[in-house]
Amino acid sequence: MKIDTGTEQLTCDVTNRVAVITLNRPEARNALSDELTRAFRQQIAERGRDPDVGTLLITGAGRAFCSGGDVKGMGGRRGPDGQTPDERFQTMRARHHEIAGALTRLRKPTLAALPGAAAGAGLAIALACDLRIAAKSAFVSTGYARIGLSGDYGIAWMLTRAVGPARARELMLLCERVSADRAEALGLINRVVADDVLMAEAMKLAAQLANGPTVALGYIKDNLDEALDIDHTSAIDREAERLTRATGSEDHREAVSAFVEKRDPVFKGR
């Protein structure tokens, strides 16, 4: 099912409970324009609420995932509509929270498929997803220092948790181009596949997640989100609380029945 996003710069199709959201500015390596980010924010929110969607799959058209902000439009920018510095901050803050923040908070699984470059904000958006799969020819880069900027979308926070503080500093300060294979070794990417099978493999993963035990997957994300911020005793208590809730779900009962009957379970997200 094709979703009307209100712009050609972003497409969205829902198939087998997977919402494929595609950044569609291939001529600009899918750089983030105001029009694109506005539609992107809306689709994350709407598909996140959609009961017919179990997973969001984010990708880019052409040979890039997302090259970050539109650098050509940055020079001489004085802020939209004569905004004050504080108004510009509030506008920027809302955009970052409603894209990377929303993806991170979403209790449905999210997956980024990288056909090519993920740089700057593009890398941040990919890191905000639960899993990342990349084409062999893809690469990542923080990119900010090269254009005299410090970072956005929470990238320093996500990088530090993904690869540790030492590697995060290296990646942010040096802005090196990191190949897909090295990114996988560093822990930035989960899987690297041949270019011509990227979307097939991404859809296979996304469909597995989308048709899985929604209740349990949401609780798993809760547990993982807390893992770096709470002590072990608190983690045990909260995991036990969520496990108790999951035990009472229809999905758990269906999984047990399917195991006994030697068939594949059919989850309903309840």
152 is catalytic: yes
Strand pairing partners for 15?
18
DSSP state for residue 190 in the 8-state scheme: S
Beginning with the edge strand found earlier in the chain, give each strand of the sheet holding 178-179 in spatial order: 64-66, 117-119, 139-141, 178-179
Residue 3, helix vs strand vs coil: strand
Encoded tokens for 257: 């029945």
Q: Are 52 and 17 in contact (CB under 8 A)?
A: yes
- Kindly report the number of other CB atoms within 10 A of residue 21's CB atom: 23
DSSP state for residue 122 in the 8-state scheme: H
73 half-sphere exposure, CB direction, 13 A CA radius:
10
Catalytic residue of the set 50, 70, 97, 222: 97
State how far the Cα of 122 lies from the Cα of 141, in Å rounded to an integer. 9
Q: Are 18 and 210 in contact (CB under 8 A)?
A: yes
Q: Are 118 and 63 in contact (CB under 8 A)?
A: no
Catalytic residue of the set 96, 152, 251, 252: 152
- Annotated catalytic sites, by residue? 97, 152
